[in-house]
A = this chain, B = another copy of it.
């Protein structure tokens, strides 16, 4: 290792839970987050769930002095919620929207409307590729209907990182991955990209036990959700890897614990994750850091592919049901049209059914037709994307197994 100057990089990552009209004490918390960021002077800040552009603009004004560079990633109906603040110039940005992100009719879960994405920003001092990320939420761990979608997202995220990180020196990912550390999606993401988990690698750790970021002590978390996990769960991560001739070490990892200093409320329903990384240039480019030849990787890709296959068959069944429903509604409408025409043409001597019921039935049939057609189109897209991912994973498996 050469004696070249090293860089200490301090990173802040937080799911801000800032949904207009829905999140409790949002303005107050965003103000506190701004204060914290200004006081601590991190190098890089990766935020998620900043759904309101006004909140972002307010933060930007407040932080202009210490974080002169920032970017807000727009996508979906509500937005991606992702933004980045940086002490160093942001040279370029790119947004990649996952091809699958829940269902538009699951209004109570709302993920579909958010346009969940990965926001990539490329900056400065040892070409740093930093990603702010959020994946589809898990609403029920026992019967997780969104598992295939989240696995597709984890796969797309991993592929996106592999393809965009080639010229970077260091890749940094911060975000709410909505997955427990041992989940297939996390293992897939880490295995397929070679990213390392700051919590597992940190020399020093300070914060919630086991690095949990969703804890029952937080007054905003849903206690019933966390009943099976009395210590909480860890779903927010800082991951990193060095490419080319650099090494990265995680010196320290911290999480926030409970209320913000001097107040009675925490910053968010998630705890923030803060890492101090040590980046050093080495004399020689290091070898392939992917470790993709690993047998464990074959297992995890195969496992993910099986889950995606399960999702594919479910989507095919839903597509079929929606199509059948649309055809039935169309037949009913046609039948009604024939009956109505018959009456108008005077074929029947008297009207055989009350007008009101007739109209209501037509209304119902039309509604069902429109809805079922929409669902059919949507599930067709879902089938295509799940099928495409299954194919890609198969290609990856073949490539892994063909290696000596």
Contacts and interface: CB of A to CB of B under 8 A. Distances in A.
Given A355-B356, A356-B355, A359-B360, A381 B76 contact: yes
Interface string A149-171: 00000000001101110110000
B92 A75 contact: no
A149 to B, nearest CB: 15
Contacts of A73: 388
Contacts of A381: 75-77, 115
Contacts of A8: none
A126 to B, nearest CB: 15
Interface in A345-393: 355-356, 359-360, 362-363, 366-367, 370, 377, 380-381, 384-385, 387-388, 391-392
Given A94-B160, A94-B163, A99-B97, A74 B359 contact: no
Given A91-B399, A384-B79, A391 B74 contact: yes
A356 B340 CA distance: 13
Nearest to A389: B74
Given A159-B94, A359-B356, A381-B115, A74 B388 contact: yes
B74 A395 contact: no
A384 B167 contact: no
A388 B91 contact: no
Given A356-B359, A384-B74, A93 B395 contact: yes
Interface string A56-79: 000000000000000111111101
Chain copies in complex: 2
Contacts of A77: 377, 380-381, 384
Contacts of A95: 99, 388
A96 interface: yes
A120 interface: yes
Contacts of A355: 355-356, 359
A171 B44 CA distance: 32
Contact of A93 (B72, B92, B385, B392): B392
A21 to B, nearest CB: 16
B74 A385 contact: yes
A82 to B, nearest CB: 11
A74 to B, nearest CB: 4
Nearest to A168: B166
Contacts of A93: 392, 395
Nearest to A75: B384
Contacts of A122: 163
Contacts of A92: 159, 162-163, 395-396, 399
Contact of A167 (B96, B97, B166, B380): B166
Interface centre among A77, A115, A380 (most CB of B within 10 A): A77
30 contacts: A72-B391, A74-B384, A74-B388, A74-B391, A75-B381, A76-B381, A76-B384, A77-B377, A92-B159, A92-B162, A92-B163, A92-B396, A93-B395, A94-B159, A94-B163, A95-B99, A96-B96, A97-B97, A97-B99, A115-B384, A120-B163, A164-B164, A166-B167, A167-B167, A355-B355, A355-B359, A356-B356, A359-B359, A363-B363, A370-B370
Given A72-B391, A167-B167, 16 more contacts: A74-B384, A75-B99, A76-B384, A77-B377, A79-B384, A92-B395, A93-B392, A94-B160, A94-B163, A96-B96, A113-B377, A355-B356, A359-B363, A363-B363, A363-B366, A366-B367
